């Protein structure tokens, strides 16, 4: 729908959401390493976040 109306592709939107997940994890969980990943699987309807050592703490 966004692609048709505004020219925004699904791939572009997914990459921006992944980047936002990484930023939120680093900010909210005080992750110290830069090895944080946001993963989105639209077909499986899954969103995951991972850090190198999974040392996320609130």
pTM: 0.57
Gap between the Cα atoms of 48 and 46, Å rounded: 7
- Number of structural domains the chain divides into: 1
- 30 located within any domain: yes
Whether 34 maps to a domain, the answer reads yes
Query: Residue 31 is part of which domain span?
Result: 2-51
In-domain check, residue 14: yes
Taking the C-alpha atoms of residue 11 and residue 14, their distance in angstroms, rounded to an integer, is: 5
- Give the model confidence (pLDDT) of 2-48 as tens digits: 778 888 888 898 888 888 887 887 787 776 666 676 677 777 766 66
Asked, for residue 57, whether it belongs to a domain, the answer is no
Residue 12 lies in a domain: yes
Evaluate if residue 58 carries a pLDDT over 50: no
Answer whether 51's CB lies under 8 Å from 25's CB.
yes
């Amino acid at each position: 729908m966004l692609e048709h109306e505004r020219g925004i592709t699904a791939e572009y939107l997914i990459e921006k959401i992944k980047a936002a997940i990484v930023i939120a994890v680093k900010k909210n969980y005080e992750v110290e390493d830069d090895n944080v990943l946001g993963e989105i699987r639209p077909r499986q309807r899954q969103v995951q976040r991972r850090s190198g050592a999974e040392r996320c703490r609130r």
